Chain A
């Protein structure tokens, strides 16, 4: 896919430009320009054209156009891109427009909604055909919004791309490629079908089933609400974490604050460790309370037992065991130990037999009491030991809580030190970090509560589903529908599982492609792993995460974008603003070499294209040399002499203004080799 022409009208500082590279050789386009000349605006115009993302109001309608209009005049902001879609030569012309009207107020009046038109022409067909049905959907199929971060890059962010911003972007990309939306749709449709079937079943089988079904629907609705709230908060938490980490990294990089920032980062890790210990200690504490507390509830039974044991002792029921056989032998022998003669049926024999029976019972009870009292003694000892364990755990929890509090105080102290800095930027960042940390506490607690509620709610829904199934048992018609509802539920669950499997496969393919490409820039056995929460990690042969240089980090982001194109098989162009970011000269040279190598494959061996939007310190004669083999097309956005602050024009080659300064001047004068 190649952008052949871009025409921008009345968009921010770009009042009227036409970039046409269709007749030029090469697929690498350098659109250069000094700060404020419209490079980012150019990217922003493409973003609006392809994805419908509007810039902020002040950067939308061109000030130049507005200044030149009279009150009541209608002005059109328009971006049009002509693209070669495939190697067969299919052409698409994408145009997005927005009408404004100049009023007596400073802000122009917007007239209607933005309009999108897409026209395509097959290679062998003569004229362009308007896609009237749903141009947005057509556009989305070639320029999926979730891949926006891999189409329109910001080089400033590249260095920290995988540390900070990319989790969401990678997740979006993987979900897009895996077609997760389709599976979600199936799951939603099947869930809706199940609801309708359940209503029918309930109606067929009477009031009880209907009542259960009403409860079931209400609980299912609640479950969805809890899940959505949890998802929103989890997303917020991820954004919060990324921003907090980003600030830590920025602060770390600031001169004079490095020690404090380094310590702050260490304290963040220490705090996380303590919190994980706290969770474990609390769980162990609760387990011990459950065991010990349950037995403690039963100790009320022990006094009566002790009373009975004392009585048994007093009345001699307890062992040494009563031996009725020895007494029975006296009756058999006919003589008691006191010398009384015993005859069967006489008064003495009967009395002795009654005594034997009475003692047989009390001895039986005594034996059990004896065993019981020993066990109960053990239970009581265990209870005391258990209480000590509970106290120990309690102390441990308090200690960990104190540790957490100490770490938090230390963090606050460091933040205060950094806040004292004269640099406003640091002060603002520190303030923001403090607020983010506070907010994070709240989000962590709330998401944990919601997760618990979600599990509890899932249980309620499952119970009601079982109850509904029981209530409809016996009604044949209902049972048929019940089977259908079960089938719908199974399909919904299967869609969820396929969705997981598809995500896993896409992750796998990206990992493989990335690992292969990364081997070109970094020697050694490195593996790229995309974790289940979409972190992209570079691991060495021992499976440990590897430290990368700044240049390697940026390169990693580029490689990911290139690997993504390979996996998705959509060759949309790569449009990078400030592609070298804040890299120093050696890193910049290294990156330029590596990029040149990759782009050689990317643009020369395929129908693909890259746009680099650079200023003069990025695009030097040296940089130019690295990309020489690719025969880049050079164009520049330069100030319009007449309206230098509000209008830029486009031309090809090197900005003549550059040739008056620094390295470009030396280059022009032949002083550079």
Chain B
């Protein structure tokens, strides 16, 4: 029996080229504040996705490249989160049957998040402090939900 799920032919996901130039600065802020020596592309992508999804801010699907994250490196847990976002976005679990649909949705939110972060970096003198505060509050709120 063949699988019902339409597999993607893509090797990786893409950044939104309109705001991609801000990624270096974002990486710099994250490195500066944490003890991490290296911030991976996946770390950056997940942060952008989180910010975009939380704000319900999407941008058009970026042209397909493989400059964001390599799909071969994605773990089941991360994929499950992405799929949950796609289900939440469409309200229809059948979106899970087409991997490209899931990835498009993810890219749209990540692009939205990158746009938000880019604007914040430009306008907030204490961007790192603002971001850290936001992530802390979010963690706290989630812990209370449970």
Q: Which residues of A contact B (CB under 8 A)?
A: 280, 283-284, 286-287, 289-290, 292-305, 308, 312, 324-325, 360-361, 363-365, 368-369, 371-372, 375-376, 378-380, 383-384, 386-387, 390, 452, 455-456, 459-460, 463, 467
Nearest CB on A from B33, distance (A):
5
Q: How large is the interface on B (under 10, 10 to 19, 20 to 34, 35 or more residues)?
A: 35 or more
Whether, in the assembled complex, B30 has its beta carbon less than 8 Å from a beta carbon of chain A, the answer is: yes
Least CB separation from B113: chain A residue:
A297
Chain B residues in 8 Å Cβ range of A296 = 50, 135, 138-139, 141-142
Please state if A284 and B35 are interface contacts (CB–CB under 8 Å): yes
Show 11 A/B contacts (Cβ-Cβ < 8 Å), sorted by A: A283-B34, A286-B33, A287-B34, A289-B135, A298-B54, A308-B93, A360-B4, A364-B3, A365-B94, A371-B80, A380-B146
Least CB separation from A375: chain B residue:
B80
Please state if B88 and A300 are interface contacts (CB–CB under 8 Å): yes
Least CB separation from B141: chain A residue:
A296
* Given known A-B contacts A295-B50, A364-B97, A372 and B139 have beta carbons under 8 A apart: no
Please state if A455 and B28 are interface contacts (CB–CB under 8 Å): yes
Please state if B135 and A376 are interface contacts (CB–CB under 8 Å): no
Q: Which residues of B contact A (CB under 8 A)?
A: 1, 3-5, 21, 24-25, 28-30, 32-36, 43, 46-47, 49-51, 53-54, 76-77, 79-81, 83-85, 87-89, 91, 93-94, 96-97, 132, 134-136, 138-143, 145-146
Least CB separation from A312: chain B residue:
B93
Q: Which of A300, A378, A390, A463 has the most CB of B within 10 A?
A: A300
Chain A residues in 8 Å Cβ range of B30 = 290
Please state if B28 and A305 are interface contacts (CB–CB under 8 Å): no
Least CB separation from A460: chain B residue:
B25
Instruction: Please tell me which one of the listed residues A292, A301, A368, A384 contacts residue B96 in the complex, with CB atoms under 8 A apart.
Output: A368
Please state if A305 and B88 are interface contacts (CB–CB under 8 Å): yes
Least CB separation from B89: chain A residue:
A301
Please state if A456 and B81 are interface contacts (CB–CB under 8 Å): no
Least CB separation from B125: chain A residue:
A453
Chain A residues in 8 Å Cβ range of B21 = 463, 467
Please state if B43 and A368 are interface contacts (CB–CB under 8 Å): no
Least CB separation from B76: chain A residue:
A375
Chain B residues in 8 Å Cβ range of A290 = 30, 33-34, 36, 43, 47, 132, 135
Least CB separation from A383: chain B residue:
B142
Please state if A300 and B135 are interface contacts (CB–CB under 8 Å): no
Please state if A459 and B25 are interface contacts (CB–CB under 8 Å): yes
Nearest CB on A from B132, distance (A):
6
CA distance A379 to B93 in the complex (A): 19
Chain B residues in 8 Å Cβ range of A452 = 32
CA distance A376 to B50 in the complex (A): 15
Chain B residues in 8 Å Cβ range of A294 = 43, 46-47, 50, 135
Extra contacts, 13 of them, besides A363-B4, A459-B24 (Cβ < 8 A), are A283-B35, A287-B36, A293-B136, A294-B47, A294-B135, A297-B138, A299-B142, A301-B89, A305-B87, A324-B1, A376-B84, A463-B24, A467-B21
Chain B residues in 8 Å Cβ range of A324 = 1
Please state if A298 and B81 are interface contacts (CB–CB under 8 Å): yes
Please state if B97 and A292 are interface contacts (CB–CB under 8 Å): no
CA distance A541 to B143 in the complex (A): 56
Nearest CB on B from A457, distance (A):
10
Chain A residues in 8 Å Cβ range of B97 = 361, 364-365, 368
CA distance A386 to B138 in the complex (A): 12
Please state if B28 and A459 are interface contacts (CB–CB under 8 Å): yes
Chain B residues in 8 Å Cβ range of A304 = 84, 87-88, 91
Please state if B25 and A301 are interface contacts (CB–CB under 8 Å): no
Least CB separation from A323: chain B residue:
B1
Chain A residues in 8 Å Cβ range of B29 = 456
Q: Which 10 A-B pairs have the closest CB atoms?
A: A293-B135, A297-B50, A364-B4, A375-B80, A283-B35, A301-B88, A387-B143, A304-B88, A287-B34, A301-B84
Least CB separation from A291: chain B residue:
B43
Chain B residues in 8 Å Cβ range of A295 = 46, 50, 81
CA distance A380 to B134 in the complex (A): 19
Chain B residues in 8 Å Cβ range of A301 = 53, 81, 84-85, 87-89
Please state if A383 and B139 are interface contacts (CB–CB under 8 Å): yes
CA distance A380 to B143 in the complex (A): 9
CA distance A324 to B4 in the complex (A): 12
Please state if A375 and B77 are interface contacts (CB–CB under 8 Å): yes
Please state if A292 and B34 are interface contacts (CB–CB under 8 Å): no
Please state if B139 and A376 are interface contacts (CB–CB under 8 Å): no
Instruction: Please tell me which one of the listed residues B34, B79, B89, B141 contacts residue A286 in the complex, with CB atoms under 8 A apart.
Output: B34
Instruction: Please tell me which one of the listed residues A286, A287, A293, A365 contacts residue B93 in the complex, with CB atoms under 8 A apart.
Output: A365
Chain A residues in 8 Å Cβ range of B146 = 380, 383-384
Instruction: Please tell me which one of the listed residues B1, B24, B33, B145 contacts residue A325 in the complex, with CB atoms under 8 A apart.
Output: B1
